[in-house]
Amino acid sequence: MSVYVILAAGGSGSRMGLGVNKVLLPLCGASVLCRSLRLFEGLIDGLVLVSRPEDLPAMKAEAALSGVSYPVSLVPGGDTRQASVWNGLKSLSAAPEDLVLVHDAARCLTPVSVIREVIASCRAYRSGIPGVPAVNTIKVCDPAGFVSDTPDRSALFEIQTPQGFLFGDLFSSYQKAEAESFAATDDASVMEYAGFPVRVVPGSRENIKLTGKEDLLIAKAMLSQNTVPFRSGLGYDVHRLVENRKLILCGVEIPHTLGLLGHSDADVALHALMDAMLGAAALGDIGQHFPDTDPAFEGVSSLFLLEKVNDLIHAAGFSLVNTDITIAAQRPKLAPHIPLMREKIASALSCDISQISVKATTTEKLGFEGRQEGISAQAICLLQQL
């Protein structure tokens, strides 16, 4: 049973008075959209991002910056949220028993526990939507503003997203709604109209929807309370020494009879550094972002890749505090090249050279490094929340 998400991101931001899609706005170092995409990391098999056609290029760029490992496809939305979700559903190649969660991209602070509750309810009961008990008294008013009814508050819930259902149930419900011109404000209402039971699971007061400018202030306050300001990462890499290859370490070409073997320039030290940075931000590793099966990265400079990793780190809301790299090689002597190595790294990361430490050591002729079969490198780094 696969799990998919349809992420509704078609808003224009008119209620914020910004003239730009609100999910593209920065929020404490990462866009609202990036934060929403990262909510589902490790939980789903794929995601359909539905947006206004004019916003699709920007959405694609943000999706790439998010660093998520699951596949993301982009689909143009319709004139309404309901039409947009229907477009997303029609684009999915899912089995009837697969799960589909429909989520508003403007809810970028949804606790992962809520998403897990929705998925568990779908598996057990074919549906699951998060809700929190209403805390205010609700009045039903006539067109003139006079109260016509006061519902029992104990039975009322404020409903949130993601709303989850079996793909087959949701698809047939949307088909019926389209055929009979039924309009709804959420997916559960479409299901209810088609006669399917809908189950409410515990939501969260933290699961706010960014609608007005005041919601952005609330979200920033929540993130400032829940964010760990510093992250540390560790990277390690090894490459074999072979003939007829250049030896490049920390972006510097070192004169030597042997060079490192790899798909890119095989800069073992920068590979370790990139893994440390990605690990600190919980964004995977370089193999995920720059696979050695992709011809686009054949022979590419690792300094170029380091710049791309730095962009990913910034998009995730972090900047480098410092890094310390140790290169283990029996030969050649690397000490004379270390000043230039530090300069190259600092330039690629747009930081001060004082933040970059590079050291070299031998292994006293022990191990594969000592036998000059290869070179290894370790790197640690500290990132700071922007």
d(CA 112, CA 120): 12
What distance in Å separates the CA atoms of residue 8 and residue 52, rounded to the nearest whole number?
Answer: 10
Q: Is the peptide bond before 255 cis (omega within 30 degrees of 0)?
A: no
- Calculate the average pLDDT of the chain: 93
Cα 104 to chain centroid distance, Å, stands at 15
Secondary structure of residue 94 in the 3-state scheme: coil
Provide mean pLDDT across the span 192-215: 94
- CA 344 to each of CA 286, 304, 308: distance values in angstroms, whole numbers, following the listed order: 19, 11, 15
Could you say which DSSP state residue 173 is in? H
What is the model's pLDDT at position 10? 82
Q: Band of the pLDDT at 150, cuts 50, 70, 90?
A: very high
Residue 14 pLDDT greater than 60, yes or no: no
| CA nearest to 32, candidates 106, 102, 101, 103 | 106
Q: How many CB atoms lie within 10 A of CB 336?
A: 9
List CB contacts of 219: < 8 A, sequence separation 6 or more.
Answer: 27, 108, 109, 208, 210
Cβ neighbors of 266 (< 8 A, separation 6 or more) are 239, 245, 248, 259, 260, 302
Tokens linked to 23: 């999910």
CB 23 within 8 A of CB 31: yes
Q: Which residues contact 34 (CB under 8 A, 6 or more apart)?
A: 62, 65, 66, 315, 316
What's the pTM?
Answer: 0.62
- pLDDT category, 27, cuts 50, 70, 90? confident
Once rounded to an integer, what is the mean pLDDT over residues 164-176?
A: 97
Strand partners, 329: none
Whole-angstrom distance, CA of residue 346 vs CA of residue 306: 11
Please name each of the domains of the chain with its CATH number. 3-226 (3.90.550.10), 230-385 (3.30.1330.50)
Q: pLDDT tens digits, residue range 258-286? A: 999 999 999 999 999 999 999 999 999 99
**pLDDT value of position 216:** 86
Q: How confident is the model at residue 18 (pLDDT cuts 50, 70, 90)?
A: low
Q: From 300, 326, 305, select the one nearest 381 (Cα to Cα).
A: 326
pLDDT digits (tens, 9 = 90+) for 282-326: 999 999 999 999 999 999 999 999 999 999 998 888 899 999 999
Angle between helices 268-280 and 338-349 (to 10 degrees): 40
Taking the C-alpha atoms of residue 15 and residue 278, their distance in angstroms, rounded to an integer, is 36
Element (H, E) at 147: strand 147-149
Interval 11-37 mean pLDDT: 80
